[in-house]
A and B are shown apart, each in its own frame.
Chain A
Amino acid sequence: MKLTRFIQKLILWELLVGMMVVIRNQFRPKVTVQYPKERIPLRPRFRGVPRLRYDPKTMEELCISCLLCEQICPDDCIAIKWEKAPSGKGRVLKDFIIDYQRCCLCGLCVDPCPTKPLTAIYMSHDYELAGSDRLDLVAGRTDLHEGRTVTIYDK
């Protein structure tokens, strides 16, 4: 027992075992992703920046300006402008602004949204948020529906 331990120590046994692990790992598939060229596929529940959607059937505004998302947002980054509907019932959305600089992508705004079956506000799969100006990151109603235009770096 003592002798084996001595020999193991002499031939740097534990370092060899460790080295074997490293060598074995050389032949495993690569996991590194070259980011701007390749992208990892996103999971369906991925939370990117929040956006608005139209009713997919009628292509009308889904949001009913109930202001629940504005109230629940912990960073106060949603601002909604609305008017009384001409028919006297309900509200008409005038403008919807989300300040992406402040948004922490928490997803709380989606929880209380009352429209069924799809929520008017949803967490999109957009995650590239760079801008050269502060105002670039303040998304108005068109941006929220169509997505922000980003310049893709492809050099």
Chain B
Amino acid sequence: MFRTQEMEINMGPQHPSTHGVLRLKLRLDGERVVDSWPVIGYLHRGIEKLSESKEFIKITPFTDRMDYVCAMSGNLAYLGAVEKLCGIKVPEKAAYIRVIMVELNRIASHLLWLGTHALDIGAMSIFLYGFREREMILDLFEAYCGARLTYNAFRISGVPADLPPGWKEECTGFLKLFRQRHREYEQILTANRIWLKRTKDVGYMDAEHCLALSVTGPVLRAAGVARDLRKDEPYAIYDQLDFDIPVDDGCDTYARYIVRMAEMLQSVHMVEQCLEKMPSEGPLMGMKGRRMKPRKDEEIYFAIEGPRGEQGVYLISDGTDRPYRCKFRNSSFANLQALAPMVQGGLVADVVAIIGTLDIVLGDSDR
């Protein structure tokens, strides 16, 4: 008489909790998810193909538009690759400025993750607080490079400008304030029983599966693997800084929350050190002129630790000033592969929490 049947529904691409234009096909058995297929590509702009027809310097603005939540990391990864390809040395002061910007951007990115992730789960006020502090970081970026989202703040072989007067003091003030505010976020969420119920044991994925799917970043570190390119393969000036890598072995959404919260404090610590150690004088650009002469048939891969994981750039040169091939290894795309195994067997409401915990940016995964 009565008959149950599995149902296939679409979630997204306009769903507000899919953080952009992710479309998820879900097969549901009542409230349980039986199967899921992420459908991506709604934000595809062909940046890799486009890059083949542009000079190296012109590609930097495109890297802003891939991971627009952390554009500084995109810039750094790409420019690092070009510098490695052409064998250019970056002056020390420029390297310090770059690291300051990238670490501040990591805090901003994690704040955006915290706000939207908590909002999806149902905590409204933390969203407003997180964005309030993120706004201050964006003000700092605006004062430094003039843009608030798509910075294009670095150039090949260095940075275009020194820190403006008063910037250091403003930044130190912000970092001090941020430590206080960070304590407040922890007070709201860390022990909150609703938050614990919604995040503990949700989206479980252990280290073995993470590695099999080449998931990187906080998701991997929350599974107990202390893999961080800033420590393992230091680039820029990270080998001169003193910092820890937060690791947790909970493997679930709550563990990822703990790891990311701790990472924010580590970034604050790093920026403080950089501001202190940064040489006050020195060149900002390592080369004069803008003609690039990479060797013929050279292939390089350069990766940095972005806020979402390994952000790599693979370049092949054919001896001209344009790349023959430019491939971006973006962490959102790799991390998205973990979505289907994580949501399987869980509730529909947890799908939202899992999308949040993976912290994907669709501009990054679609390119």
In the complex, how many angstroms separate the beta carbon of A15 from the nearest chain B beta carbon? 7
B146 to A45, Cβ gap below 8 A? yes
A74 to B59, Cβ gap below 8 A? yes
- Across the interface, A47 reaches (CB within 8 A) one of B59, B146, B191, namely B146
Which chain A residue has the least Cβ–Cβ distance from B189? A18
Give residues of chain B (21-73) contacting chain A, Cβ–Cβ below 8 Å. Answer: 54, 57-62, 64-65
A105 to B147, Cβ gap below 8 A? yes
Asked whether A14 and B193 contact (CB < 8 A) given A21-B187, A31-B135, A104-B150, the answer is: yes
Residue B142 at the chain A interface, CB threshold 8 Å = yes
A46 to B146, Cβ gap below 8 A? yes
How far is it, in angstroms, between the C-alpha of A123 and the C-alpha of B161 when the chains are bound?
15
A107 to B146, Cβ gap below 8 A? yes
B192 to A18, Cβ gap below 8 A? yes
Q: Mark A119-131, 1 if CB is under 8 A from B, else 0.
A: 0000100000000
- 23 CB < 8 A contacts A-B: A14-B192, A14-B193, A18-B188, A24-B184, A25-B184, A31-B135, A43-B139, A43-B143, A43-B164, A44-B143, A45-B144, A45-B145, A45-B146, A45-B161, A74-B54, A74-B59, A104-B150, A105-B147, A107-B146, A107-B152, A108-B60, A111-B155, A112-B290
Residue B293 at the chain A interface, CB threshold 8 Å = no
Residues of chain B at interface, number, CB under 8 A: 34
How far is it, in angstroms, between the C-alpha of A31 and the C-alpha of B131 when the chains are bound?
10
A106 to B135, Cβ gap below 8 A? no
Which chain A residue has the least Cβ–Cβ distance from B161? A45
Residue B320 at the chain A interface, CB threshold 8 Å = no
4 interchain residue pairs of minimum CB distance: A47-B146, A74-B58, A14-B191, A106-B61
A18 to B187, Cβ gap below 8 A? yes
Q: Mark A7-49, 1 if CB is under 8 A from B, else 0.
A: 0000000110110111011000001000000000011111100
Which chain A residue has the least Cβ–Cβ distance from B290? A112
Residue A79 at the chain B interface, CB threshold 8 Å = no
Give residues of chain B (184-211) contacting chain A, Cβ–Cβ below 8 Å. Answer: 184, 187-189, 191-193
B57 to A72, Cβ gap below 8 A? yes
In the complex, how many angstroms separate the beta carbon of A101 from the nearest chain B beta carbon? 16
How far is it, in angstroms, between the C-alpha of A47 and the C-alpha of B125 when the chains are bound?
32
Most buried by B among A44, A73, A112: A44
In the complex, how many angstroms separate the beta carbon of B279 from the nearest chain A beta carbon? 22
Which chain A residue has the least Cβ–Cβ distance from B196? A14
A72 to B58, Cβ gap below 8 A? yes
Which chain B residue has the least Cβ–Cβ distance from A75? B61
How far is it, in angstroms, between the C-alpha of A24 and the C-alpha of B135 when the chains are bound?
20
20 further interface pairs, Cβ-Cβ under 8 Å (given A14-B191, A111-B160): A18-B188, A21-B188, A25-B125, A44-B143, A45-B143, A45-B144, A46-B142, A47-B146, A47-B147, A72-B58, A72-B290, A74-B58, A104-B61, A104-B150, A106-B64, A106-B150, A107-B152, A108-B60, A108-B152, A123-B146
B164 to A106, Cβ gap below 8 A? no
**B64 partner residues in chain A, CB cutoff 8 A:** 106
**B160 partner residues in chain A, CB cutoff 8 A:** 111
Residue B132 at the chain A interface, CB threshold 8 Å = yes
Most buried by A among B61, B143, B192, B290: B61
**B146 partner residues in chain A, CB cutoff 8 A:** 43, 45-47, 107, 123
- Across the interface, A105 reaches (CB within 8 A) one of B139, B150, B192, namely B150
**B161 partner residues in chain A, CB cutoff 8 A:** 45
How far is it, in angstroms, between the C-alpha of A24 and the C-alpha of B62 when the chains are bound?
42
Residue B243 at the chain A interface, CB threshold 8 Å = no
How far is it, in angstroms, between the C-alpha of A46 and the C-alpha of B142 when the chains are bound?
6
**A31 partner residues in chain B, CB cutoff 8 A:** 132, 135
B143 to A108, Cβ gap below 8 A? no
B193 to A44, Cβ gap below 8 A? no
Residue B178 at the chain A interface, CB threshold 8 Å = no
**A73 partner residues in chain B, CB cutoff 8 A:** 58
**A44 partner residues in chain B, CB cutoff 8 A:** 143, 164
How far is it, in angstroms, between the C-alpha of A31 and the C-alpha of B65 when the chains are bound?
28
How far is it, in angstroms, between the C-alpha of A107 and the C-alpha of B132 when the chains are bound?
27
**A43 partner residues in chain B, CB cutoff 8 A:** 139, 142-143, 146, 164
In the complex, how many angstroms separate the beta carbon of A37 from the nearest chain B beta carbon? 19
A108 to B290, Cβ gap below 8 A? no
In the complex, how many angstroms separate the beta carbon of B60 from the nearest chain A beta carbon? 8
